Amino acid sequence: MTEKVLGVILGGGQGSRLSPLTQTRSKPAVPIAGKYRLVDIPISNCLNSGIHRMFVLTQFNSASLNKHIKNTYHFSHFSDAFVDILAAEQTPDNPTWFQGTADAVRQTMHHLLQHDFEYVLILSGDQLYQMDFNEMLNAHEESGAQVTLATIPSTAKDATGFGILKANEENIITSFIEKPSADQLGDWASDTGPEMQAEGRNYLASMGIYIFNRDLLVSIFAENPDEKDFGKEIIPRVLQTQRVLSFQYEGYWTDIGNICSFFEANLGLTDDIPKFNLFDSNQSIFTRPRMLPPTKILSTSLVKAVIAEGCILNADLIKHSVIGIRSRIGNGTSVENTYIMGSDRYQTLAEIAEENEAGRPLIGIGDRCKIFNAIVDKNCRIGNDVTINGGEHLEDGDFEFYAVKDGIVVIKKDAVIVNGTVIG
What digits encode the pLDDT tens for the residues 228-243? 888 788 888 888 889 9
- Across the chain, mean pLDDT equals 90
Q: Is the peptide bond before 236 cis (omega within 30 degrees of 0)?
A: no
CB 331 within 8 A of CB 367: yes
Q: Note whether residue 341 is domain-resident.
A: yes
Q: H/E element holding 307? A: strand 301-307
- The H-or-E segment that residue 190 falls in is none
Work out how many domains the chain is built from and give that number: 2
Predicted confidence (pLDDT) at residue 99 exceeds the cutoff of 80: no
Whether residue 377 sits in one domain with residue 266: no
Q: What per-residue confidence (pLDDT) applies to 185?
A: 86
Question: Which sign does the torsion angle of CA 39, 98, 222, 150 carry?
Answer: positive
Asked if the structure places residue 39 within a domain, the reply is yes
Instruction: Note whether 266 and 295 are same-domain residues.
Output: no
Average pLDDT over residues 86-94: 64
- 277 inside domain: no
Residue 279 placed within a domain: no
Share of the chain above pLDDT 70, in %: 95
In terms of average pLDDT, the best of 19-28, 52-61, 264-273 is 264-273
Same domain flag for 166 and 314: no
d(CA 240, CA 257): 30
Q: In terms of residue numbers, what domain contains 322? A: 290-423
281-330 residue pLDDT tens: 889 999 999 999 999 999 999 999 999 999 999 999 999 999 999 999 99
Tens of pLDDT, residues 13-53: 666 788 898 888 888 889 999 999 999 999 999 999 999 99
Same domain, 309 and 225: no
Residue 108 has pLDDT above 80, yes or no: yes
On the question of pLDDT at 388 being above 90, the answer is: yes
Which pTM value belongs to this model? 0.93
Please state, in angstroms and as integers, the Cα–Cα distance from residue 131 to each residue in 244, 263, 365, following that order.
20, 22, 37
pLDDT digits over 149-186, tens only?
Answer: 999 999 988 888 888 999 998 999 999 888 888 888 88
- Name the burial class of residue 24, with classes exposed (0-12), middle (13-18) and buried (19+) by CB atoms within 10 angstroms of its CB: middle
Mean pLDDT along residues 189-211: 91
CATH number where 295 lies: 2.160.10.10
- Whether 276 maps to a domain, the answer reads no
- The torsion angle over the Cα atoms of residues 379, 380, 382 and 388, rounded to 10 degrees, is -130
